[in-house]
Amino acid sequence: MSPRGGGEGGEMKRDFLKVTDLEPGEILALIEAARANRGEQSELLKGRNLGMIFSKPSTRTRISFTVATYDLGGHVTFISESELQLGRGETISDTARILSSYLDAVVIRTFRQEDVEELAAAAGIPVINGLTDERHPCQALADIMTISQFHDDLGRVKVVYLGDGNNVAASLMIIGAAVGCEVVVCTPPELPLEPWAVAEAEALAADSGARVSLSHDPAEAVRGADFLYTDVWFSMGQQKNPSKSAKLQPYQINDALLAQAGESCRVMHCLPAHRGEEITAEVMDGPRSIVFQQAENRLHAQKELLKLLMKDA
């Protein structure tokens, strides 16, 4: 039977608001399980209800969490944040208490990381960050799962992110640092990764032996890379502007840049992609691209995340 009806901060519940909410060993176990259990259909979440509150668009996150829950025998309720009473002034903490009395876990996609943390602090159920302006930890789980699928020694992997120093870059550097990869985040000097993200990654690297660094020189950064990774130049909520595009143009993943990376280098992108901006169509649709495998892995990784957070909650 579902243990709904908590409402107040439950002792046992765990959230996934940022990569470091999982220990490095748990991340490795999760991706191993995700690889082993792909295609799982079970009743592990029978009678459980996952809520999804999104205030930004989504294809992968929304659908992969929905299918993951159904595959585990659970139910999903989706609502856009603008349709909640939150938009009319109900507080986040009151909302959290109400949701906790109906649901067994909630995925939220919104703007401010602080709002997700406030929701989690007041909720008696696990809260999962489905993307904020700062972080995209669920994406990072699928990213590291994908890397492990194409390279059998995470301690010898070099991943280079090129482009805007955004939420996806932050979570990638942090998860890479947790599991011992070399991660280079290469951005224009004016669009760097936030210092908090670098500090988090450096702290993890000190334990794992990972190497993390920043660069502004794409040709230098990609040398010897096993994976190149990019993301959109304008994240959800940002206005397009030509001056930012001009700064990012040298960081585009194209055939010329890829030729300077390792011979077996693969190309990753969290998607959605804008062909002709951060990545060319030739690379995106070419033989080195593993972006669709990476997108599929959202489903497998999140299924394991739901099992981890919801099985005993």
Nearer to ligand CP, 44 or 271 (CB): 271
Indicate which of ligand CP, ligand NVA, none lies near residue 224 (CB less than 5 to 8 Å, by partner kind): none
187 touches ligand NVA by CB under 6 A: no
Indicate which of ligand CP, ligand NVA, none lies near residue 304 (CB less than 5 to 8 Å, by partner kind): none
Of 136, 151, 266, 300, which one is the catalytic site residue? Answer: 136
271 touches ligand CP by CB under 6 A: yes
To ligand CP, the closest distance from the beta carbon of 58 in angstroms equals: 3
Contact with ligand NVA (CB under 6 A) among 193, 257, 270, 306:
270
> Dihedral sign, CA of 269, 272, 275, 277?
negative
Indicate which of ligand CP, ligand NVA, none lies near residue 289 (CB less than 5 to 8 Å, by partner kind): none
Indicate which of ligand NVA, ligand CP, none lies near residue 232 (CB less than 5 to 8 Å, by partner kind): ligand NVA
168 touches ligand NVA by CB under 6 A: yes
Q: What amino acid positions are annotated as catalytic residues? A: 109, 136, 139, 231, 270, 298
Give the footprint of ligand NVA on this chain (CB under 6 A): 131, 166-168, 231-232, 235-236, 270
